[in-house]
Amino acid sequence: MDAEFPIESAPKHHALLGLLLFTLTVFNMTVYGFVLVSVKEISKKQSTFILLFSHGMADMGVMAQLVWISIEIITYSRVPVPWYLDNVLLKTFFKASNYHFIVIAINRAHCILFPMSYATIWKQKVFMAACILCWACGLTEALCYTYAVKVDPRAFIIHNLERMTFSRLRWDVEGADFLNKAEMYYYLCIVILAIIIYLLVLIKLLLAK
């Protein structure tokens, strides 16, 4: 356990909530897993589902963090994993999921806006390359988020057992303010980009009528 990283232990009465969180998350992951198996099979015939399967794997990685923290809440202890490793794992899955979301939006928009060129451009190799790019961008951003910016390690609240949250930053620690603002602008850009893409699709559909 990293001695520089303060541990906030959870009250024992939170164990019931931890059990509830664990049960719901495992149930969701199980259902999601069955869906991904089907998506994987369909992707052998329809290349579009390669992107959906890759996106689903990123989402599974994010949900795994909920299982992780729920076990810690139930057992009233922390898994001895360094904060930086946990942070890289979480951010990689989370960021990769976001990038998949944007690529899927672009893919669907292309299919509707420019149907004649869609099949020519979006081939299996393109989908594979898009998935690899999403994961690479997610990992790169996670590494930069963790190592490139000078931040006091105490700023990272990876698993807060008392509040049952993960991946949070303190505002009152050196460097945390910059990362918090960077995260805010990042998600703002993701949302705006998605809105623009789907707005173009909506306009196209309305004009088609």
Q: What is the mean pLDDT of residues 151-180?
A: 62
Q: What is the mean pLDDT of residues 156-181?
A: 62
- Name the least confident of 57-66, 67-76, 110-119, 136-145: 67-76
Non-local (6+) Cβ contacts of 166 within 8 A are: 65, 66, 68, 69, 90, 158, 159, 160
User: CA–CA separation, 119 vs 101, rounded Å?
Assistant: 20
* Whole-structure pTM value: 0.81
Residue 6's pLDDT is 43
Residue 74's pLDDT is 81
